């Protein structure tokens, strides 16, 4: 199966763009990586296509990974793609400066699992009961929800968040307040991983080569990735600075049980929270999921 082209599903998110950059500038070809990148519109589409086999891999958040694993789909997470350091936030109208100020008001959430998870984590961090805030899923445009006076605040991620901030709204909570709470990982179903190990290695090598390309050709890379995100170069740079993309050495450290900041410890916090909030029902052995074998072979 090593000659199979792997279809990887990626949402429109700043942390995914180095993969599309690799496609644009020929890095995949240089590494003989057989891959087809596919944009996905939402989490449900991504998970459904992973389960059906239409996608061979995807970049997803930890909470999505654990929900998928619990539903009976053995997965392998092979790369820490990025973690949010302000890229996910709660934005409010003028006069609302603290999360606690939302008591009795209405907040809108994007139709994303991570939005609900982040919102719940934020409330728990500030000891604000969910029952004291009205919340609903915004089906349409988030900016319109503000303009139509439907909500006093929204849970939103970049690049949409940056556009709202330019309208004069303000941040009352972000992932800077709870670092490493939202992590994106590259995952493959266990059978795909085992049958396509060499090709996945080439794909991961291309990822790190793309990060090196960004460092060497920063302005060009920002221009290309901004165009891919359909935002200005200035807007993309802001969103890019609100995430941390670990290099190879830091990635390997994430998978090291002895490391102070390791993915297993972070996962335990995430899983404990998800379990308490009844987002999952069973104990998950993360040693069956995270695999640094390929990372240790890269250069």
* Residue-level pLDDT at 283: 86
Within this chain, domains 6-85+182-297 and 88-174 share the same CATH topology: yes
Of 207, 182, 227, which is closest to residue 83 (Cα–Cα)?
182
Query: What is the rounded CA–CA span in Å between residue 166 and residue 228?
Result: 20
How many Cβ atoms sit within 10 Å of the Cβ of residue 26?
11
Query: What is the rounded CA–CA span in Å between residue 109 and residue 97?
Result: 18
Q: What CATH number is given for 6-85+182-297 in this structure?
A: 3.40.190.10
Residue-wise pLDDT for 221-260, tens only, equals: 999 999 999 989 998 998 899 899 999 999 999 999 998 8
* Residue-level pLDDT at 1: 56
Please state the domain extents for the chain. Answer: 6-85+182-297, 88-174
Query: Average of pLDDT values for 44-48?
Result: 89
3-state SS, one letter per residue, for 153-201: EEEEECCHHHHHHCCCCEEEEECCCCCCCCEEEEEEEHHHHHHCHHHHH
Residue-wise pLDDT for 73-119, tens only, equals: 999 999 999 998 888 899 999 889 999 999 999 998 887 778 888 99
Query: What is the rounded CA–CA span in Å between residue 265 and residue 51?
Result: 27
Output the pTM of the full model: 0.87
* Residue-level pLDDT at 203: 99
3-state secondary structure of 101: helix
Question: Residue 284, CB half-sphere, CA atoms under 13 Å: how many?
Answer: 31
Q: What CATH number is given for 88-174 in this structure?
A: 3.40.190.10
């Amino acid at each position: 199966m090593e000659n199979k082209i792997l279809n990887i599903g990626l949402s429109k998110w700043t942390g995914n763009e180095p993969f599309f950059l690799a496609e644009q500038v020929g890095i995949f070809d240089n590494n003989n990586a057989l891959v087809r990148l596919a944009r996905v519109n939402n989490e449900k589409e991504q998970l459904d296509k992973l389960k059906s086999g239409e996608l061979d891999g995807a970049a997803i958040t930890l909470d999505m990974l654990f929900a998928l694993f619990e539903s009976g789909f053995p997965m392998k997470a092979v790369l820490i793609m990025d973690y949010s350091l302000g890229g996910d936030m709660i934005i409010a109208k003028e006069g609302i400066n603290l999360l606690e100020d939302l008591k009795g008001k209405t907040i809108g959430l994007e139709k994303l699992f991570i939005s609900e998870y982040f919102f719940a984590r934020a409330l728990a961090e500030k000891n604000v009961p969910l029952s004291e805030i009205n919340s609903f899923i915004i089906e349409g445009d988030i900016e319109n929800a503000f303009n139509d006076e439907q909500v006093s605040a929204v849970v939103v991620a970049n690049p949409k968040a940056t556009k709202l901030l330019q309208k004069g709204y303000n941040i009352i909570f972000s992932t800077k307040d709870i670092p490493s709470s939202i992590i994106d990982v590259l995952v493959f179903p266990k059978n795909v991983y085992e049958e396509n190990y060499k090709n996945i290695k080439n794909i991961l090598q291309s990822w790190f080569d793309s990060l090196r390309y960004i460092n060497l050709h920063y302005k060009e890379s920002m221009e290309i990735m901004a165009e891919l995100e359909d935002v200005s170069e200035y807007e993309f740079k802001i969103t890019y600075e609100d995430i941390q993309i670990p290099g190879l050495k830091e990635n390997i450290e994430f998978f090291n049980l002895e490391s102070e900041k390791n993915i297993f410890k972070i996962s335990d916090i995430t899983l404990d929270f998800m379990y308490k909030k009844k987002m999952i029902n069973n104990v998950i052995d993360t040693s069956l999921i995270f695999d640094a074998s390929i990372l240790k072979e890269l250069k």
